[in-house]
Amino acid sequence: MNRYKKMLAMGVVLLSMAGLAACSNSANGTNKHVHLSETANLSKKPTKAGDKSGLNVAEVSDSPFSGITSPELMDNGEDLDMFAPGGNDNMFNQNNHYEVTKGGLANLKLNKKNNTATITLRKNAKWSNGMKVTAKDVEYPYEVIANKDSKSQSYSDVLNDIKGLSAYHNGKAKTISGITFPDGPKGRKTVIHYNHLTPGMKYNGNDYMNGTVEPYEYLKNVPISKLASSPQVRKHPLFVGPYKMSKEVDGESTSWVPNKYYWGKKPNIKRVHIQVVSTSNFAEAMKTKKYDFASGTYGAFSDFPHVKNLKDYTTVGKPFLAYGNYGFNVGYQNKKGNTVEYKHGKMSNPSLRRAMMYALNLNMVYKKFGYGLKYRANTLVPPIYGKYHASYKSQPGFPYNMKKARQLLKNAGYKKRHGSKWLSQPNGKPLTIHLGAMSGSSVGNAQSEYMLQQWRKLGLNAKYTNGKPMEMNSYYAYLSKPKQKAMDVFESAFEINADPSEGGMYGPGAAENYSHFASKENNKLLTEMDSKKAFNLKYRVKVFKKWQKYMNKEAAVVPDDYMTIWTPVNHRVTGFNYSPGANQFWSNLGLNATSEK
């Protein structure tokens, strides 16, 4: 569980249906992708006049951001971006491999013998109002996440490995007994007692350990059920990063000024403004030099050819710790928070799910329209995880094969009956499949249209949930319900943890297991990948590859695409560093001119 594991808005593929139709009959082949530099203008020096002028950042999104500043309560990547200058309440520094290092707001020490994680705050750690950051501030996010009234999407049952957290989550205890304060709740040290440590705890982003703080004294009088809507979170939040928020226009923009209480390097730039820009306006906005750089560009990859070579800009990028997928609605979450699969659900047959994926030529979609930034994924473990990723040779995923798709359905008993143009279920009942898709620009999401087209070619009566793609926040509202039958299949994308462990995403009690897939074999593999034996790298890699093979076989959640996060950077910006180990990203930025060049 970590602040990074958030849903992303889906990018719109602005292309012709004729072009996609042509794709469906083309040959397959794993797509190549671009490799961009992670840095820009590191050697140039800022000027006083430039730094005073202010930095302008575009957040590419076709929906308003929701405005939740608490990482534990966020459910999308847009809010993370809009409040990033404030540090997102992050505690730890990390290296380029995402491993926790010393020197951040807090340091981490793991003790395998005692099964403890000790977090020690730095002496000068303060909130943006000057209030001291305390050990209780380290513990309080766990109370928020594990409290059922918060409805936090960050909760998963793997957190129950913390002693006493299960009792707190189930309302049997008012505190989490396994989190202690050696020098008191107002001290600097917090100790988390686990039943066992896992290999992934060394990463700044894992399912077992929270990486953020919350201002307990500032929030303690707000009921946890009302935190997400409270003025303390929405209107007057506190931050621990280099900037504090000076203004927010609901759903549209945030403005920032330096935080004088920041413990780290003081930022050069005196004003930062982040503005939501739609995918349809993004390219023109960059061409007219309205913005210095952008975030959220995973939703604007079709603009890449139009802006990658802009005069006075350098385009940078890196492999994104994220992936897109297709989820099939195969179950629900019961009142106890456990995932239960439907015994005879519409989408319960793996042959149907696999057939639907073989009917899509994602290789050609992304080869023709991914512009090197997106390419077809083969498993739910992206290549950015190195050895843990199963190769395309060992696990090809679902390359286009309409013949195989039809045979799978035939063998499973899906037939056209009584003169119908559509296939019916093996039990003879009619079959209508509803696709949940997120809306983009007014032009529409042609990739979603292509999916419906291909499934209809396969003989399936496929149509949109509610007749059309949904606005982002409405889409999230459907998916986050414990039980929903409006979407039979849905598109989603996640910004994920630095540790590849999958229990927090696909475990039986994971809030973000939106397909509600559960099985004994899945639970067994999820447990094995985080067991004591998994400290042996070869063993852990073997378990991960076995899990990837199993998930492709079951096809309840299917990989869609891997992606590159990118942005043009105006030449007046200095010190831009996209690398994972750039812990002082915002502080190191500078401006060498008063307006975009």
User: Exposed, middle or buried, 388 (CB in 10 Å: 0-12/13-18/19+)?
Assistant: buried
Do the beta carbons of residue 61 and residue 276 sit within 8 Å?
yes
Give the tens place of pLDDT for each residue, 369-415. Answer: 888 999 999 999 999 999 999 999 999 999 999 999 999 999 999 99
Return the pLDDT at 13.
39
pLDDT beyond 80 at 10: no
pLDDT beyond 70 at 544: yes
Q: Indicate where the chain has its CATH 3.40.190.10 domain(s).
A: 36-69+239-312+571-596
Measured distance between the N- and C-terminal CA atoms of the chain, rounded to whole angstroms = 41
Mean pLDDT of 175-193: 98
Do the beta carbons of residue 266 and residue 153 sit within 8 Å?
no
pLDDT beyond 80 at 297: yes
285-to-180, 248, 318 alpha-carbon distances in Å: 51, 21, 22
Q: What is the mean pLDDT of the chain?
A: 91
Give the tens place of pLDDT for each residue, 513-523. Answer: 999 999 999 99
User: Where residue 20 falls among pLDDT bands split at 50, 70, 90?
Assistant: very low
For 391, what's the count of Cα atoms within 13 Å in the CB-facing half-sphere?
2
**CATH fold group of domain 90-237:** Dipeptide-binding Protein; domain 1 (3.90.76)
Judged by average pLDDT, the poorest of 137-151, 154-168, 505-519, 521-535 is: 505-519
pLDDT beyond 70 at 246: yes
Mean pLDDT of 98-103: 96
Q: Indicate where the chain has its CATH 3.10.105.10 domain(s).
A: 319-564
Output the CATH code of domain 319-564: 3.10.105.10
Share of the chain above pLDDT 70, in %: 94
Return the pLDDT at 25.
47
Share of the chain above pLDDT 90, in %: 78
User: Where residue 1 falls among pLDDT bands split at 50, 70, 90?
Assistant: very low
Q: Indicate where the chain has its CATH 3.90.76.10 domain(s).
A: 90-237
Mean pLDDT of 18-39: 63
User: Where residue 30 falls among pLDDT bands split at 50, 70, 90?
Assistant: low
| Local structure of residue 82 (DSSP, 8 states) | H
Radius of gyration of the chain (CA): 24
Residue 454 CB partners (closer than 8 Å, separation 6+): 24, 359, 360, 361, 402
Return the pLDDT at 7.
54
324-to-79, 251, 298, 350, 494 alpha-carbon distances in Å: 19, 24, 10, 20, 7
Confidence (pTM): 0.87
User: Exposed, middle or buried, 350 (CB in 10 Å: 0-12/13-18/19+)?
Assistant: middle
pLDDT beyond 80 at 60: yes
Return the pLDDT at 31.
58
Return the pLDDT at 446.
82
**What CATH superfamily classification does 36-69+239-312+571-596 receive?**
Periplasmic binding protein-like II (3.40.190.10)
> Which of 262, 122, 135, 134 lies closest to 192, judged by CA?
135
pLDDT beyond 90 at 597: no
Give the tens place of pLDDT for each residue, 408-459. Answer: 999 999 999 988 999 999 999 999 999 999 886 443 378 889 999 999 999 9
Give the tens place of pLDDT for each residue, 343-364. Answer: 899 999 999 999 999 999 999 9
pLDDT beyond 60 at 16: no
